[in-house]
Amino acid sequence: MESKEHSDERIFLEGPKTRRKEGLFMLKIVVDFIRGFRKFHFLGPCVTVFGSARFGAEHTYYKMAEEVGRGLARLGFTVMTGGGPGIMEAANRGAKEAGGISAGCNIQLPKEQAPNSYLDYWVSIKYFFVRKILLTKYSFAFVVMPGGYGTLDEFFESITLMQTGKMGRFPVVMVGTEFHKNLYAHLQSLIKQGTIGEKDIELFLFTDSVEDAIKHISDNTLERFNLHPRVKAKWWLGERKLNSK
């Protein structure tokens, strides 16, 4: 049976409704944003790792994502994911086991996606577009591991925001040359057709090397963006520091 939240979202996307219904829906969106802002405000600079929920712990890509999480944690980044299983779990696991901070922005689905067990901080979001903004807002780099529709959606949204100047040109790494080879070939064809420019393909690094991925992120973030320290918590807003219990 479909949940009320998902029914509301589908109805909203079916065209104009009454002002009352659309106003109430907007309030629900604002609540989702506020919950995300309050949870992630003190994480410090993050790197978001995108990838499939369907790869198990024995899969090569799961193990690569663990390495990515460890490498990012050692650079001092908070590792953020969509909070679920598979690649997301692997990146969070690697970060946590390396002594770093692990965060997740989970999505509420009809078939519930439970937050993975390697998260230090997480929030469950009702609406996909709110979740995508939160996964982007706090990050200074993005790692795209093998995945499906959702991963590709997140990848293309990130590079579209950069291409159009709506977001800074943060480093993006696409990992998995064999998995993504047809996609990469298609992007090359877009250059030939003139729908993207030659420099647009330079918006991301395409590699199988976790070491190269981590180096690319390190070289293009720490000094370039002069990463700021974590924001201080305000007790009078009911906020607590990351190390508070």
Q: What ranges do the domains of the chain cover?
A: 4-226
CB 12 within 8 Å of CB 22? yes
Q: Furthest-apart CA pair in the chain: how many Å?
A: 57
To which residue do tokens 């604002």 refer? 30
pLDDT tier for residue 163 given thresholds of 50, 70 and 90? very high
CATH of domain 4-226: 3.40.50.450
- Write out the H or E segment, with its range, that includes residue 125: strand 121-125
Write the pLDDT tens digit of every residue in 61-80: 999 999 999 999 999 899 99
More confident residue, 149 or 238: 149
Write the pLDDT tens digit of every residue in 2-30: 555 556 777 777 888 889 988 999 999 99
For residue 156, give the nearest of 6, 9, 50, 40 by alpha carbon. 50
pTM: 0.88
Residue 236 has pLDDT above 80, yes or no: no
